[in-house]
Amino acid sequence: MADNLTESRIVYFFEAVRCGTIRAAADWLNVAPSAVSRQIGLLEKELDATLVERHARGVKPTEAGEYLIEYFREQLAHKDDLISRLQELRGLRTGHVSVVLGEGFVSDVLVGPMQQFGKLYPGIKVNLDLGSTNDVIRRISEDEAEIGLVYNPPAEPKIVSRAFKQQPMMAIVGPHFRRSNKQKSISIQELASYPLAALHPTYGTRQMLQAVEFAEKIRLDPVVTTNSISILKQFAKSGLGLVMLPAFAVTTELEAGELHAIEIDHPIMLNAEAHLVTRVGRKLSVASNKMLQIMSSQMRAFR
């Protein structure tokens, strides 16, 4: 093994793993595929270790490769920390914050935290990317974003919750929705009798439905499946049936009387939580820490 590690070669390896294939990494780096393969080969010689497994669908990291990816991400995080400290010396006049969030949090973020953060730190740029529950967890754990907003996430050892609040899953219906049952809450059995629209299984709300189906031995079969909460809202507004979302995701529509929320009488639905997450061990930039503080104090989801 060589005494020195050529840091620049790690980028070729990292992008090959991230993109899934040598060719895709070459396109991303704007170099020839042979250049990517050559740099990975030289890196493997330096470390005296096989870093990738090649198969028909592309490449995947070996155990040694996983260690190198973890090292590379830590180096990037240290770089971000240095830049953050320099920003702090300049009084947070420049910099950026990267947030990945479920669509249900969008209005909550824009109405509260973004307005206050923009006034306090007008020179800081904020990147807001939408993602499913699985997307948010992956991107935070792989340092593709600093802050995540996610509803009812699964347990993940790489993720830590910086704020959380119980936010029950509700049955969301249009203003002209009629029930024969006059009880305040709705049972799972009654829920199953109406047409449903739901998100795809990579989203926390749909995963909760699947957990309820398993627990109650009942079938909740959506007539519409989508990756858009906007479509779910319109489905309910149009009187086509009902959808299941936390109340904070439809606050504007509830206040305007365009939608109504009915409590669902089931412990899985009642105990759902909204979470503000970061990666375990990730040292956030000064700007991101400020955003985190504002989010936890200003957002309806965490009150």
| pLDDT tens track for 39-56 | 888 888 888 889 888 887
Residue 111 has pLDDT above 90, yes or no: no
Question: Per mean pLDDT, which range of 67-81, 97-111, 117-131 is the poorest?
Answer: 67-81
Residues 129 and 174 grouped into a single domain: no
Kindly compute the dihedral angle of the four CA atoms of residues 262, 264, 269, 271, in this order, to the nearest 10 degrees: 80
Residues 233 and 219 grouped into a single domain: yes
Say which residue, 143 or 232, is predicted with more confidence.
232
Count of domains for the chain:
3
Taking phi over 0 as left and psi of -120 to 50 as alpha, with beta for the rest, 44 belongs to alpha
Distance CA 119, CA 37 (A): 48
* Exposed / middle / buried, residue 96 (Cβ in 10 Å: 0-12, 13-18, 19+): middle
Using pLDDT thresholds of 50, 70 and 90, give the confidence band for residue 1: very low
Residues 49 and 102 grouped into a single domain: no
Among the candidates 91, 123, 151, a domain finishes at 91
Using pLDDT thresholds of 50, 70 and 90, give the confidence band for residue 181: confident
Say which residue, 85 or 163, is predicted with more confidence.
163
Residue 203 has pLDDT above 80, yes or no: yes
Residues 280 and 198 grouped into a single domain: no
pLDDT at position 197: 96
Could you tell me the two tokens for 152? 């009812």
Residues 53 and 99 grouped into a single domain: no
Mention every residue, 6+ apart, whose C-beta is less than 8 A from residue 7.
75
Residues 160 and 282 grouped into a single domain: yes
* CATH at 238: 3.40.190.10
Mention every residue, 6+ apart, whose C-beta is less than 8 A from residue 55.
none
Residues 33 and 117 grouped into a single domain: no
- The DSSP line for 47-68 is HTS--EEEETTEEEE-HHHHHH
Indicate whether this model's pTM tops 0.85: no
pLDDT at position 294: 94
Residue with tokens 């990147």: 127
CA distances from residue 141 to 47, 51, 56, 184 in whole angstroms, order as listed: 25, 21, 27, 40
Residues 214 and 263 grouped into a single domain: yes
Q: What is residue 197's three-state secondary structure?
A: strand
Share the mean pLDDT of the chain. 89
Please name which of 121, 5, 106 lies closest in space to residue 64, comparing C-alpha atoms: 5
pLDDT at position 178: 86
| pLDDT tens track for 231-244 | 999 999 999 999 99
pLDDT at position 85: 67
Question: What would you report as the CA-atom Rg of the chain, rounded to the nearest whole angstrom?
Answer: 23
Residue 195 has pLDDT above 70, yes or no: yes
Residues 6 and 138 grouped into a single domain: no
Task: Average the pLDDT over 132-150 and give the result.
Answer: 93
Beta bridge partners of 226: 199
Beta strands 52-55; 169-173: pairing state? unpaired
Domain residues for the domain of 55 are 1-91
* CATH at 10: 1.10.10.10
pLDDT at position 106: 94
Percent of the chain with pLDDT over 70: 94
Residue 123 has pLDDT above 90, yes or no: no
Residue 228 has pLDDT above 90, yes or no: yes
Residues 257 and 178 grouped into a single domain: yes
- Give the helix ranges, DSSP H, for the chain: 7-19, 22-29, 33-47, 63-89, 106-111, 113-120, 133-141, 188-191, 204-216, 229-237, 251-256, 267-270, 286-298
Residues 155 and 283 grouped into a single domain: yes
Backbone phi, then psi, for 151, in 5-degree steps? -105, 125
Percent of the chain with pLDDT over 90: 53
Residues 179 and 194 grouped into a single domain: yes
